[in-house]
Structure 1
Amino acid sequence: MALPEISARGLYGGQHMTTAETLLAGPRGHRMVLAYARDAERTLQPEFRSDLFDHAVSLAAYHLESGREGARVLYGPGADEARQNVLTADDVAHRLSQVPLPEVTAVALRSALADAVDAARYWQDPDGEDILVAAEPVRRELRRVAEHIARSPHAQWWTMPDATDQWLVGWSEDGTDSVGSTTAELLRDYGDRTAAEEVRAGRDRPADPSANWSGWWWSTPPTRCSSRRLFDGTPAGLWVVEDSMGWERAIARRVNIPAGARVYEVDGAQAWAELCRLFPVEVTAQKRHDWYRTTGRSGRWVIPDWSRLPERYEGVHLTVAGYLAAAGTAIAVDADTASVIAGWAPDDTYWLTDTVKLDSDDSQTWVCDTVGRRPCWVEEAHH
């Protein structure tokens, strides 16, 4: 059967400016804007004060998730008093309105983006900060910050399509490529395992989405993934990692992309939904519990059938703006079906064919310096 015709640049195609609406469209965008505002205040006011916005966020988030399993804990001097000090979303919004916004820098934006990605949890309920930034008073004040960010030239690459200068980041000590199978074999095996898991989950797991059950919550292809180099020469994949294990050493290898490689651009929810409509794979039984917790939606779930895309595309790229707007949300595919972008990082490109090769002669070793206020990746000199 012939594949349906779909655009190589997602539903919209082309390139758009980063807007405040995009930054405030989804939970990851909310968290990025919040992280930027908190960091801006810390930069201008490094000494602790109980009347600061940053402290208000911590207190409000604590109370919003208090009593839940895995909730944050207050301890140390002043903890007892803080537990009694309940701040509302209006209180937090007022303090946010008082935070001066310094000139946007590439470093500050990268730090805020990294914080938002690191806070993603698609196997549990939204945490206190997620709940706080979704409250209307806080959302209104976050718009001022989002507009400030959106005006910056440092945020404009967030809507750009896949870059030609791509680097794969690996966390193994020797940096060797552990993939022994062809990409086609990986995709076929993944498809078989997904189908088998759906049957098994339908048989063994409860149909109640609120049941205490968890499984494989990712919606990523099982193939190589790369990202562009940033303003300082570091690969984006060093900084933005969902469900990070706290790695402090990485090997980055250049990815050689053939001329004319076709990359499907996921620039938002509709582009992802289009993939799911055209190439759906049923994953309701295996995803329903995790994705219900993170989105609150109960119903049928699908993901794209990655094994069908290589006939048309070499890769799939998620723009930063697409990630901030759509990751972690219940993306409507049709009237009774939805999907979730989960486990992806902003600017990820997953490669679906073996025409894309790793350059065995061009690699870099990076080490994370955690001494300063922000972690910093530094290239290790070759001896």
Structure 2
Amino acid sequence: MSAVDWLLAGPRGRRLLLEYALLAEEDSDVDAEDSFRAAALLASYRLDVDQGAGVVMFGPGAEEARRTVVTADDVADRLSRVPLPEVTAGVLRSVLAAAVDHAMYWQPPSGEDILAATASVRGELERIAEHLASSPHAQWWSTGLAAADQWIVEWVDTDRQFRRDPAATPTTAETLRRYGVRTAKEEERAASERPADPAAAFSGEWWSVPPTRSSTRSLFDGTPAELSFVEDGMGWQRAVSRRMRVPGGVRVYEIDGAQAWAQLCREFTVEVTAQKRHDWYSTTGRAGRWVIPDWPRVAEHYDGIHLTVCGYLASAGTAVSLDDDTSSVIAGWAPDETYWLTDVAAAGDGDEAQVWVCDTDGEHPQWAVERPR
């Protein structure tokens, strides 16, 4: 797969391209009513309504807008005229953050995601994919674990963070053991108590991440990537980061796309059909058997699992096929995130911790180290 193919293959990659087009058009002199943004908004609204999403449009001009029909071909036509400015590291972070923030795996795809997957719009998004893929600021998206530059982020009250008793924290092995027992019990309970119809209105734990610590590299401005890239974020505005010490020879499995995830699931399989089927049917439209990696068993072979940005953009939120009957979903992960399955990688001491605060006054949230008052 080329970098362009990675960007076009999955819903998160296509959403990133859509977000870039919206951002790029802001600097043009196109009239608002003739803009790509206006067309995309109306077309996405109609797609949301068609699937019963309960989206409401209100305010001046809302009634006329609700009656206006804008097709995917109309959107593609306006998209073809959006100028593509020079790509910057800041813009790429903003559009990647937006694509991650709009990932919701407990409901059907949004109108914007459906729109981006249509043939005509996807065809025009290819021009944007080529533009972004050629940028030097996007080259790290396909790289593996940056072992010398790993940071763990915790969205906790800073007082609790510094007072935490390390002795009270279970080992990673114990955490995984408890998780394995809990997952097996939950599957048994869900099979007996939840409806077998995947379309039934039911929801549970939709994510497929290990229950362990994770880390990411730092971005161009020194901020840990996890501060900006969070699926299902809770609007946190304070965080603490610490460096992760990763020794040489660490065993890391790289997920650079659907095939790598499928292979991991084939080698270390745990059944989660009963507990995942409703959420994953909603987001993928697929009914059938579902599995995830058996993380306690994976830990016997690997210290960490790293998801590349390209792997995330191409595969997150899709039904990753293992065979004709079985699939899985990469859900709850952040791009460039590494989950640690052993204690071989250790967080730095408390005096290395940095407190971050998020400034939400501008159009795009900005993280900065908290300054002493």
TM exceeding 0.5: yes
Asked if 1:23 corresponds to 2:2, the answer is no
In the TM superposition, residue 382 of structure 1 has moved relative to its aligned partner by: 4.4
Aligned residue in 2 for 1:363: 353
Counterparts of 2:55 and 2:94, CA distance in 1: 22
Counterparts of 1:156 and 1:121, CA distance in 2: 27
In the TM superposition, residue 363 of structure 1 has moved relative to its aligned partner by: 1.3
Asked if 1:276 corresponds to 2:276, the answer is no
Residues 346-365 of structure 1: per-residue CA shift (max 9 Å, x gap)? 00100011121111231111
| Aligned partner letter, 2:135 | S
In the TM superposition, residue 71 of structure 1 has moved relative to its aligned partner by: 3.2
Asked if 1:183 corresponds to 2:172, the answer is yes
What is the root-mean-square deviation of aligned Cα atoms in Å?
A: 1.5
Counterparts of 2:202 and 2:209, CA distance in 1: 21
Aligned residue in 1 for 2:75: 92
Counterparts of 1:67 and 1:92, CA distance in 2: 17
In the TM superposition, residue 44 of structure 1 has moved relative to its aligned partner by: 3.2
SS at match of 1:328: coil
In the TM superposition, residue 381 of structure 1 has moved relative to its aligned partner by: 2.1
Aligned residue in 1 for 2:152: 168
What is the aligned counterpart of 1:38 among 10, 22, 29?
Answer: 22
What is the aligned counterpart of 2:34 among 30, 51, 61?
Answer: 51
TM (norm. structure 1) is 0.93
Counterparts of 1:299 and 1:210, CA distance in 2: 12
Q: Which runs of 5+ in 1 are unaligned?
A: 1-15
Aligned residue in 1 for 2:206: 217
| Aligned partner letter, 1:138 | V
Percent of aligned pairs with the same amino acid = 61
Per mean C-alpha deviation after superposition, the further-off stretch among 75-84 and 264-273 is 75-84
Contact kept? 1:277, 1:334, Cα under 8 Å: no
Aligned residue in 2 for 1:75: 58
In the TM superposition, residue 378 of structure 1 has moved relative to its aligned partner by: 1.2
In the TM superposition, residue 73 of structure 1 has moved relative to its aligned partner by: 2.0
Per mean C-alpha deviation after superposition, the further-off stretch among 267-276 and 171-180 is 171-180
In the TM superposition, residue 68 of structure 1 has moved relative to its aligned partner by: 5.2
What is the aligned counterpart of 2:300 among 311, 325, 348?
Answer: 311
SS at match of 2:64: helix
SS at match of 1:303: strand
Counterparts of 2:278 and 2:223, CA distance in 1: 37
SS at match of 2:32: coil
Residues 226-282 of structure 1: per-residue CA shift (max 9 Å, x gap)? 100000000000000000101111111111112211111000000000000000000
Counterparts of 2:119 and 2:299, CA distance in 1: 43
Aligned residue in 1 for 2:241: 252
What pairs with 1:290-309 in structure 2 (closer than 5 Å)? 290-309=279-298
Counterparts of 1:365 and 1:345, CA distance in 2: 21
Aligned residue in 1 for 2:107: 124
Q: Which runs of 5+ in 2 are unaligned?
A: none
SS at match of 2:348: strand
Per mean C-alpha deviation after superposition, the further-off stretch among 364-373 and 298-307 is 364-373
Contact kept? 1:198, 1:284, Cα under 8 Å: yes
Counterparts of 2:370 and 2:342, CA distance in 1: 31
| Aligned partner letter, 1:370 | T
Contact kept? 1:302, 1:339, Cα under 8 Å: yes
Counterparts of 1:152 and 1:81, CA distance in 2: 41
Contact kept? 1:62, 1:71, Cα under 8 Å: no
Asked if 1:374 corresponds to 2:364, the answer is yes
In the TM superposition, residue 310 of structure 1 has moved relative to its aligned partner by: 2.1
| Aligned partner letter, 1:136 | A
In the TM superposition, residue 180 of structure 1 has moved relative to its aligned partner by: 1.4
Contact kept? 1:104, 1:152, Cα under 8 Å: yes
Contact kept? 1:226, 1:255, Cα under 8 Å: yes
| Aligned partner letter, 1:285 | A
Structure with greater helix percent = 2
Residues 160-217 of structure 1: per-residue CA shift (max 9 Å, x gap)? 0011211111111213468711100110111111100000000001111101111011
SS at match of 1:250: strand
Per mean C-alpha deviation after superposition, the further-off stretch among 122-131 and 307-316 is 307-316
| Aligned partner letter, 2:128 | V
| Aligned partner letter, 2:15 | R
SS at match of 2:242: strand
| Aligned partner letter, 2:357 | V
TM (norm. structure 2) is 0.95
| Aligned partner letter, 2:232 | D
Aligned residue in 1 for 2:181: 192
Counterparts of 1:67 and 1:345, CA distance in 2: 30
Per mean C-alpha deviation after superposition, the further-off stretch among 268-277 and 179-188 is 179-188
Would the alpha carbon gap of residues 206 and 84 (structure 1) be closer, same or farther in structure 2, given more than 3 Å must change?
A: same
Size of the aligned set, in residue pairs, is 366
Contact kept? 1:97, 1:141, Cα under 8 Å: yes
Counterparts of 1:382 and 1:86, CA distance in 2: 54
Counterparts of 2:264 and 2:190, CA distance in 1: 24
Counterparts of 2:359 and 2:201, CA distance in 1: 38
Would the alpha carbon gap of residues 158 and 311 (structure 1) be closer, same or farther in structure 2, given more than 3 Å must change?
A: same
Asked if 1:158 corresponds to 2:141, the answer is yes
Counterparts of 2:46 and 2:53, CA distance in 1: 13
In the TM superposition, residue 86 of structure 1 has moved relative to its aligned partner by: 1.1
Counterparts of 2:45 and 2:232, CA distance in 1: 21
